[in-house]
A and B are shown apart, each in its own frame.
Chain A
Amino acid sequence: MASITAAKNRLPWWVGPITVSTVLVLFTVYAMYVVFFRPDGQYQSLLSPFYSPPVGIPGWMPGWVTAPMLVLWIPLGFRATCYYYRKAYYRAFFWDPPACSSKAQEREPRGNNYNGERALFILNNIHRYFLYGSIIVVAFLWYETAVSFFPEGGFGMTIGSLVLLTNIVLLSGYTFSCHSFRHLVGGNKDCYSCVKSGGSTGSEVRSENFLRKLRRKTYNGVSVINGQHASWAWASLFMLLIADLYIRLLQAGVITDLRIF
Chain B
Amino acid sequence: MDDRTADGGGLAPQAHANANGTAGENGKTTKLKIFRGDAEGGEEVEYELPMVEGMVVLDAVLNVQAEQAGDLAVRWNCKAAHCGSCSAEINGKPKLLCKTRMEEYDGEEIRVHPLKAFPVIKDLVSDVSWNYEVSRSMTPFTSDAQAPFTMYEEDVERLYEPKKCIECFMCQDVCHVLRTHNKHAEFAGPRFFVRAQWMEMHPMDNQNRLKYLHEERGGVGYCNITKCCTEVCPVGIKITDNAIIPLKERVADEYYDPAKWLMRKLRGNRNGARNGG
Chain A positions within 8 Å of B, measured between CB atoms, are 83, 86-87, 90-91, 96-97, 100-103, 105-106, 108, 110-112, 114-118, 121-122, 125-128, 179-180, 182-183, 187-194, 212, 216, 223, 226-227, 229
Q: For the complex, what is the distance from the CA of A232 to the CA of B250, rounded to whole Å?
A: 24
Q: Is B231 an interface residue (CB 8 A)?
A: yes
Checking B224, B232, B246 against A187 with a beta-carbon cut-off of 8 angstroms, the contacting residue is B246
Closest to B245 in A: A179
Chain A contacts for B89, CB-based, 8 A? 102
Contact A190 to B200, CB < 8 A, known contacts A115-B222, A116-B223: yes
Interface string of B243-260 (1 = CB under 8 A from A): 001101110110111000
CB distance from A128 to the nearest CB of B (A): 7
Q: Are B226 and A114 in contact (CB under 8 A)?
A: no
Q: Are B226 and A91 in contact (CB under 8 A)?
A: yes
CB distance from B178 to the nearest CB of A (A): 11
Q: Are A102 and B154 in contact (CB under 8 A)?
A: no
Q: Is B23 an interface residue (CB 8 A)?
A: no
> Nearest 3 CB-CB pairs, A to B?
A102-B92, A125-B256, A100-B228
Interface residue stretch chosen among B8-16, B35-43, B188-196, B201-209: B201-209
Q: Are B252 and A128 in contact (CB under 8 A)?
A: yes
Q: Are B249 and A96 in contact (CB under 8 A)?
A: no
Q: Is B140 an interface residue (CB 8 A)?
A: no
Q: Are A121 and B224 in contact (CB under 8 A)?
A: yes
Q: Are A191 and B203 in contact (CB under 8 A)?
A: yes
CB distance from B106 to the nearest CB of A (A): 11
Q: For the complex, what is the distance from the CA of A126 to the CA of B261, rounded to whole Å?
A: 13
Q: Is B182 an interface residue (CB 8 A)?
A: yes
Closest to B250 in A: A188
Q: Are A190 and B277 in contact (CB under 8 A)?
A: yes
CB distance from B147 to the nearest CB of A (A): 16
Closest to A109 in B: B180
Closest to A101 in B: B92
Q: Are B249 and A188 in contact (CB under 8 A)?
A: yes
Q: Are B1 and A103 in contact (CB under 8 A)?
A: yes
Q: Are B201 and A190 in contact (CB under 8 A)?
A: yes
Interface string of B203-243 (1 = CB under 8 A from A): 10100000000000000011111111001100000101100
Chain B contacts for A226, CB-based, 8 A? 241
Q: Are A100 and B221 in contact (CB under 8 A)?
A: no
Given A97-B180, A102-B92, A125-B256, 17 additional A-B pairs, CB 8 A: A83-B225, A86-B224, A87-B224, A87-B240, A90-B224, A91-B226, A100-B231, A114-B177, A117-B222, A125-B255, A187-B246, A188-B249, A190-B205, A192-B154, A192-B155, A223-B158, A227-B241
Count of inter-chain pairs, beta carbons less than 8 A: 124
CB distance from B24 to the nearest CB of A (A): 24
Closest to A91 in B: B226
Can you give 30 A-B contacts (C-beta < 8 A)?
A87-B226, A97-B180, A100-B93, A100-B231, A100-B232, A101-B93, A102-B89, A105-B179, A105-B180, A112-B182, A114-B222, A116-B177, A116-B222, A116-B223, A117-B221, A117-B222, A117-B224, A117-B225, A125-B248, A125-B256, A126-B256, A179-B249, A180-B249, A187-B249, A188-B277, A190-B277, A193-B152, A194-B203, A212-B154, A223-B158
Checking B1, B182, B246 against A183 with a beta-carbon cut-off of 8 angstroms, the contacting residue is B246
Closest to B173 in A: A102
Q: Is B176 an interface residue (CB 8 A)?
A: yes
Chain B contacts for A116, CB-based, 8 A? 177, 221-224
Q: Are A118 and B221 in contact (CB under 8 A)?
A: yes
Q: Is B116 an interface residue (CB 8 A)?
A: yes
Q: Is B136 an interface residue (CB 8 A)?
A: no
CB distance from A250 to the nearest CB of B (A): 39
Contact A108 to B176, CB < 8 A, known contacts A125-B252, A183-B246, A191-B155: yes
Contact A108 to B180, CB < 8 A, known contacts A102-B1, A190-B202: yes
Q: Is B174 an interface residue (CB 8 A)?
A: yes
Chain B contacts for A190, CB-based, 8 A? 155, 200-203, 205, 277
Closest to A104 in B: B92
Chain B contacts for A229, CB-based, 8 A? 241
